[in-house]
Amino acid sequence: MKVNIQENSWLAKLAAAKLKAGQAAIVFGNTIHLNNTSRAEFLKDKEWLCHELKHVEQYRQYGFVGFLVKYLIEWIRNGYYNNRFEKEARENESDISLLEKVKII
């Protein structure tokens, strides 16, 4: 599966502001949007990369709209940190097999 990386993304900038974070990544479909980090820096951080690749996998599992709806419901009910999709992504941060399933373009 091909995964795109978008640097200096306004979407990731919004996520960073909401999370009160200096750096941020947010996934929409097969694109990882970055704020305040370069593609090269992001790709060096395997845990962060695997976290975001898990979200790409979640989009594939539930479909674009299906995942967004499920994620937003989880966020409303449980907040960001306790969102089951975020928990699953954190649990897979060391799963390097995620790297073998994608081609980063």
Closest-CA residue to 95 (of 54, 66, 55, 56): 54
pLDDT digits (tens, 9 = 90+) for 50-98: 999 999 999 999 999 999 999 999 999 999 999 999 999 999 999 999 9
Distance separating alpha carbons of residues 68 and 103, to the nearest angstrom: 23
pLDDT digits (tens, 9 = 90+) for 12-62: 999 888 888 889 999 999 999 999 999 999 999 999 999 999 999 999 999
Which pLDDT belongs to residue 39? Answer: 97
**Can you tell me whether residue 4 is helix, strand or coil?**
strand
pTM over cut 0.75: yes
Residue 84 structural domain = 2-104
* Domain count along the chain: 1
